[in-house]
Copies of this chain bind each other. A is one copy, B any other.
């Protein structure tokens, strides 16, 4: 009698899938390689294969799988279920992925941008439970994000909203992957933190970071910086504080614009926890309007790298009711 939902997180390197029930209990989790270089058709058949395998491995009756949710990196036409463009998936331009999956799997399918889906995961079962208006920053190699308004993913006019990583906070700052200068992503991503550390180490190796990266500045990562900061290294602490200040400017801006109840910081970089959040909060306090600020908490994400699959199962639950599904197929399922 249980209703189950399959969440799939399609990434440039891996595809993860999880079976979840409507109460948020996870039954099965599986991860395979994306092998994006093999091309679009191959990735889609691997997706279909995974979507069939996971319910089977869980001995789930077909009729108990209600719907499938999918997070895809890139620009998504949500109502039509089309991947317009994906920087991480070569050749993915105008791919009607929902139709392809519906034809193969005979289930209602909901797709959305991967960062939006991860944000929705944190709202459903993570740090944002029972909060209706929140913003999620995902700090990794890049900086992604999602805005949740009244419990739903905020999409904007043509489904491109929520690009929290591409807000300019330092007009003459470092160049961003998007072509702009001084974006949040260019200042607080793991890549940005490593770049700052690398440049500093090339000037002076007088830091624990130098030892942690095996005395090869080109191998330094954000993780090395946070490890060194925790041990009291001066350079590392300076970099972490500066990173937190930049992130704090971004968060304060978001608070003044959107007045969310909660700001969640997730992604690999957020593993630094309070070390990073302390300077974030200090900067936000300086810059956010006090009426908005009083209402807003800033916390670390709770779902780690499962936010994507969990959120994807979460949006699958919406597919049941939404026009972003195909009722005819459902009846034949």
Contact = CB atoms under 8 A, between A and B. Distances in A.
A69 to B, nearest CB: 21
A171 B85 CA distance: 33
Contact of A259 (B159, B164, B260, B291): B159
A156 B291 contact: no
Nearest to A170: B171
B253 A167 contact: yes
Copies of this chain assembled into the complex: 2
B257 A162 contact: yes
Contact of A287 (B154, B168, B291): B168
A198 interface: no
Given A259-B155, A259-B158, A291-B75, A169 B168 contact: yes
A289 interface: yes
Contact of A261 (B157, B162, B289, B291): B157
A193 interface: no
The 8 closest A-B pairs by CB, nearest first: A156-B259, A161-B259, A157-B261, A160-B292, A163-B256, A160-B259, A158-B295, A167-B253
Contact of A295 (B85, B154, B157, B249): B157
Interface string A68-109: 000000010000000011000000000000000000000000
B157 A85 contact: no
Interface of A: 75, 84-85, 132-133, 147, 149, 154-164, 166-171, 178, 180-181, 249, 252-254, 256-261, 286-287, 289, 291-292, 295-296
Nearest to A164: B257
Nearest to A134: B157
A23 B162 CA distance: 35
Given A85-B291, A157-B259, A160-B289, A169 B166 contact: no
7 contacts: A156-B259, A157-B259, A157-B296, A158-B292, A168-B253, A180-B252, A181-B287
Given A168-B252, A168-B287, 4 more contacts: A85-B291, A154-B258, A160-B259, A167-B257
A72 to B, nearest CB: 14
Nearest to A250: B168
A260 B162 contact: no
A156 B133 contact: yes
